[in-house]
Structure 1
Amino acid sequence: MNDSLHISERKAHAVVIGSGLGGLASAMRLGAKGYRVTVLDRLDKPGGRGSSISENGHRFDLGPTIVTVPQVFEQLWVACGRNFHNDVDLRPIKPFYQIRWPDGSQFNAQSNMRSEVERLSPGDVHGFEKFLNDSEKRYQFGFEDLGRRPMNKLWDLIKVLPKFVMMRADRSVYTHAARRVKDERLRMALSFHPLFIGGDPFNVTSMYILVSHLEKTFGVHYAMGGVQAIADAMVKIIQSQGGHVAMQSEVDEIVVKNNICKGVKLKDQTVLDADVVVSNADAGHTYTHLLRNHTRRRWTNRKVKKQRWSMGLFVWYFGTKGTRDMWADVGHHTILNSSRYKGLVRDIFIKGKLAEDMSLYIHRPSITDPSVAPQGDDTFYALSPVPHLGHDDAVDWNQMQEEYRQKVAKILDRDVIPGFEKHLSASLIFTPNQFESRYLSPYGSGFSIEPRIFQSAWFRPHNVSEEAKGLFLAGAGTHPGAGLPGVISSAEVLAKLVPDAPHVPEQILKVAAE
């Protein structure tokens, strides 16, 4: 008998916790860097907040509904040697959305909004153009520069402080809009965008006016099949790289030994070893639960609790039968305003009070994508920002859910889709309770940590964790923040911090008999 020693090589292993779009993008980036990647998620479908649920022939996209910066997806696909548009059918939406006020006035957001501003408030045209110029400068600095590079070192922040000062980042989005235009409706139309990523327009840094530029320049798009179709396409690329996506596999703990991340332990006690671990779980959940048995220096339970969290969301998903040709004035995206703006936002973010009035975002994808509903039918969701569950005397949604749904229905019937309730064919409701239980989001917040100035960039949980070597973060709770462009960019930043995969030698003893 002769013994022969066979030397083989294996790829370094990366485990990604969570199949939200930030997690899937991270897996794609790591696969392109040579890692063998395993993605683990507790849900039954990939996509996280961008996943979907089907009921009675209606497909409900549960979270994000628009793509505003297609190039972040295009560049992600290129990094994996693929063409995004071969895998995803992206359609431009025109107008981007329609904003309606109680006085009957309307504003159609579109690439060339000068005519809309002239119609709504002629005296504000010059100020509006100055606002767009401000927006472009902040986009170039805030998104293309800061948003696409690491901000985990204090020196990274110190270097850019002069520019933050020059751009008056201390002002809020609303304050900046108010300095440029006088009409209160236009001030709202130019300042509400932080609500799309969980921010209070009256307190979030004015850097976020950059959204006006990216909408104007790149447009607003819808992925046929919904954001779920994007997530499904990402899974296919991960699998083509040799990676594995395991649904209904919940991670209970990140395993750390001698301050080095060694892998993860699942709810069923299975342990997976890893050379790199990426958490796409909410940053708060990552530190307070997944690292609960590890002594933390920076992100202690106390510090996590002290953060300001984004608002909660009440979302009513519903289908209507035989209505496709009804309500011709209701487009893909409609924003319906309360008579209050500042007061309502203050109730939601500061007072934590469930107000009697509300503003609604109404999503009607069936007029663009017939696959979301049976033929001739409609699929909708109506979203109302509400307080998160962390306020004193938090809303008891077990008690309030139906009452609030009836209030939403009354407004929809009166102002948007009259008579819709007699056509209802499907109904599903998410409150902050569902965001807390389904997504493990602290306080049921809709978008993780609120993007205030001292909770952005370096102040936000970093993409490379200080708590354990080999642990990285992606998604809404880390840099650069929430929203599809933000979470996809978080994977780009992460890829700049994770080294290329080394080939790790393994000695395998093979005994061959002659």
Structure 2
Amino acid sequence: MARVVVVGAGLGGLAAAARLAAGGHRVSVLEQAAEVGGKLGWVSRDGHGFDTGPSLVTLPQVFGDLFAATGDPLDDVLDLVRLDPAVAYRFADGTDLDVPGTLDGVRATLGPEWSAFLDRAAEIWRVTEQPFLRSPLQGARTLARLARSVADVRTVAPWSSLRGLGVQYLTDPHLRMLLDRYATYSGSDPRLAPAALATVPWVEQALGSWYVRGGLRRLPLAVADRAVERGAEVRTSTPVTRVLVEGGRAAGVELADGGRLPADVVVCNADAAALYRDLLPAVAPVRRARASLARATPSSAGFVLLLALRGRTAGLAHHTVLFPEDYDAEFDDLFRSPRPLRDPTVYVSAPDDPATRPDDDSESWFVLVNAPRHGPVDWDSPGLADAHADHVLAVLARRGLDVRDRLRWREVRTPVDLERATGSVGGSIYGTSSNGARAAFLRPANASPLPGLFLVGGSSHPGGGLPLVTLSAEVVAGLVGPAR
């Protein structure tokens, strides 16, 4: 039995804790915030409730595997509802496109071009799922293993961007824009992100988009409960200031109150950049990992409005995406000349769930636009957050969703708010972006260069998003192994 300390009670850390505790280890989870969940937060006020992070679940089998491996099955714990339509898209030229929640419906609605693209995406998924997403990352050697099969390399097309792959299959500008959006799932630029990200729409459309009744915040709460059931200890309001290194390996953690907690294994669910920059001593043997992170492009961040509204919006889908006229200008503002977006894509999540509203004549909207991270843009600049919030509401109004006269109240959350709440450097949602042909293969590995230290969560392999974060926990549990 190993003594394991998990730093951070985001979904990845909690999933790792549940698996390791079920494997017989003595596990302590330390979370700086007052509640578990990390980026899967929840805000409640005047009867309005908001998920403040991810708003849908994909790859539900990943969560089914987690719960089956640690106790009662998923269906006994959470109520997952398949969304149909999955997303309602609105384009600047007035075109509306509701994407069904089933693969057959998607193929029928989006047509033969999109169907041909999905067939290619399915092949990329077949090639990459087990050797990449479900296995430990070994840097360029992972890519080298893939290169042993010429056919597989041709399928994945590591030399091609997501935008480039779309051009091969799609002539409809609406479908091309729809595909570009999937790069933002990893905080990336579709002109630079690898074609392998085609697996994201495949997973979402073939296996479904799902909502957790009562709010997605129920997911980390359920995983925390499972970890505790298996014997783990979860301590909130317990910041970690340092990973201890003794004898050339991780030996525990130092707490903000000066206390120390020894451990045989440390699993870090903090942002990888924060770990290597702030939590490890300068003498730790992680120079190459630090240098690799310094060279990587950070992912984009997000600017969020929580809107408590009077009345109901007729025909509003669970998820609505309102595109700008010039999508490339958005990515230029994010990565090339960072600034608050002038004409952003606006994402609205408005679950039809009684748990999110005080009565049936109310709505609670989570509104998100992409944003450059804090640093290149000073989100602490006086008046900037409110001015940008007003701008986003005006953009919504121009695109047919004017709710300004229905507002009970609004809450604004900027990238610097995310940085302070979760430790994500600059508010980058996914750590490093996938910009560049090899970027996805060069993310921080789950096994750090320091023996006994492992990384879990969206800033490490295999990437951001609820299923990948949960898979990172599966990989880490496999690396640590069961108690002996």
Give the TM-score, by structure 2 length.
0.94
> Quick check: 1:114 aligned with 2:107?
yes
Instruction: State whether structure 2 residue 242 is matched by structure 1 residue 253.
Output: yes
Please tell me whether the aligned partners of residues 91 and 222 of structure 1 are also in contact (alpha carbons under 8 angstroms): yes
The residue type equivalent to 1:461 in the other structure is P
**Residue 464 (structure 1) aligned with residue 447 (structure 2):** yes
Q: Deviations over 1:100-147 (max 9, x none)?
A: 011110111222223323xxxxxxx43322201111011122234310
- Out of 295-304 and 138-147, give the one that drifted further: 295-304
Q: Secondary structure at the match of 1:227?
A: coil
2:93 paired with 1:103: yes
AA aligned to 2:475 is V
CA contact (8 A) 1:39 1:246 kept: yes
Specify whether residues 53 and 395 from structure 1 end up closer, same or farther in structure 2 by C-alpha distance, changes over 3 A only. closer
In the TM superposition, what is the alpha-carbon distance from 1:300 to its structure 2 partner? 5.7
Q: Deviations over 1:60-111 (max 9, x none)?
A: 2110010011000000111113201111110111100011011110111222
Aligned to 2:339: 353
User: Are 1:334 and 1:362, in contact at CA under 8 Å, matched by a contact in 2?
Assistant: yes
Q: Are 1:401 and 2:385 an aligned pair?
A: yes
Structure 2 CA distance for aligned equivalents of residues 440 and 144 of structure 1? 30
- Matches of residues 288-299 of structure 1 in structure 2 within 5 Å? 288-299=277-288
Say yes or no: does 1:438 pair with 2:421.
Answer: yes
Matched with 2:365 is 380
Q: In percent, how many aligned pairs have the same letter? A: 30
Does the alignment pair 1:60 with 2:45?
Answer: no
Deviations 1:369-423 (A, max 9, x none): 11111012211111010111243x65555431111111111122343433x2333
Q: Does 1:214 align with 2:203?
A: yes
Deviation for aligned residue 1:356? 1.9
Q: 2:129 aligned with 1:143, yes or no? A: yes
Separation in 1 of the partners of 2:404 and 2:424?
31
- Residue 299 of structure 1: how far off its partner (Å): 4.4
Letter in 2 for 1:409: L
Give the distance between the partners of 1:198 and 1:43, measured in 2 at CA.
Answer: 24
Q: 1:178 to 1:156 in 2, by over 3 A?
A: closer
Paired with 1:177 and 1:223, the residues of 2 have a C-alpha distance of 31
Q: Cα gap change, 1:217/1:166 in structure 2, threshold over 3 Å: closer, same or farther?
A: closer
The separation in 2 between residues aligned to 1:302 and 1:296, in whole angstroms, is: 12
Q: Deviations over 1:273-293 (max 9, x none)?
A: 111110000000111111034
Distance 2:11 2:283 in 1: 27
Correspondence for 1:492:
474
Which of 230, 233, 238 aligns to 1:241? It is: 230
Q: 1:406 to 1:153 in 2, by over 3 A?
A: closer
- Which consecutive residues of structure 1, in runs of 5 or more, have no partner in the other structure? 1-10, 118-124, 503-514
Asked if structure 2 preserves the Cα contact closer than 8 Å seen for 1:460 and 1:478, the reply is yes
Q: Do the aligned residues in 1 keep the contact of 2:305 with 2:367 (CA within 8 Å)?
A: yes
| Matched residue, 1:80 | 70
Task: Flag the 1:101–1:25 CA change in 2: closer, same or farther, 3 A.
Answer: same
RMSD between aligned residues:
1.7
In structure 2, relative to structure 1, the CA distance for the partners of 1:153 and 1:202 (3 Å cut) is: closer
- Quick one: which amino acid aligns to residue 207 of structure 2? F
Cα distance, 1:436 vs structure 2: 1.5
Using structure 1 for the length normalisation, give the TM-score: 0.89
Match of 1:188 in 2: 177
Q: Which amino acid aligns with 2:204?
A: E
Kindly indicate whether the alpha-carbon contact (under 8 Å) linking 2:309 and 2:363 is maintained by their aligned counterparts in 1.
yes
Q: Give the letter aligned to residue 210 of structure 2.
A: H
Does 1:424 pair with 2:407? yes
Q: Tell me the amino acid that sits aligned with residue 189 of structure 1.
A: L
The CA distance in 2 between the partners of 1:147 and 1:470, in whole Å, is 22
Distance, in Å, in 1 between the alignment partners of 2:463 and 2:178 is: 22
Letter in 1 for 2:365: F
Deviation at 1:328, TM superposition (A): 1.1
The structure-2 alpha-carbon separation of the partners of 1:260 and 1:456, relative to structure 1 and needing over 3 Å to count, comes to same
Q: Equivalent residue of 2:411, what SS? A: strand
Q: Is 1:161 equivalent to 2:147 in the alignment?
A: yes
CA drift of 1:164 comes to 3.5
The farther-off stretch of 347-356 and 83-92 is 347-356
- Relative distance call for 1:285 and 1:206 in structure 2 (3 A) is same
Is the 1:93–1:332 Cα contact (8 Å) retained in structure 2? Answer: yes
Q: Which of 306, 322, 333 does residue 317 from structure 1 map onto?
A: 306
Number of equivalences: 476
Query: AA paired with 2:479?
Result: L
The one-letter code matched in structure 1 to 2:129 is F
- 2:244 aligns to what SS in structure 1? strand
Give the alignment partner of residue 336 of structure 1, picking from 272, 297, 322: 322
| Rg comparison, structure with higher value | 1
- Is the contact made by 1:287 and 1:299 (CA closer than 8 Å) also made in structure 2? no
Q: Distance in 1 between matches of 2:375 and 2:292?
A: 14
State the secondary structure of the residue aligned to 1:79. helix
**Structure 2: how far apart are the matches of 1:167 and 1:464?**
25
Q: Which residue of 2 aligns with 1:179?
A: 168
Give the C-alpha shift of residue 33 in structure 1: 1.2
2-structure distance, mates of 1:161, 1:478: 23
8 Å contact kept, 2:124–2:155: no
**1:506 corresponds to:** none
> What SS does structure 2 have at the residue aligned with 1:178?
helix
Q: Secondary structure at the match of 1:48?
A: coil
Contact residue 322 and residue 347 of structure 2 kept, 8 A: yes
Q: Which moved more, 1:60-69 or 1:426-435?
A: 426-435
| 8 A Cα contact 2:13 2:457, kept in partner | yes
Matches of 1:292 and 1:275, distance apart in 2: 18
Q: What CA distance in whole angstroms lies between the structure 2 residues aligned with 1:172 and 1:336?
A: 24
CA contact under 8 A between 1:316 and 1:383: conserved in structure 2? yes
Equivalent residues of 2:11, 2:469 under 8 A apart: yes
The alpha carbon displacement at 1:305 in A equals 2.8
Letter in 1 for 2:41: S
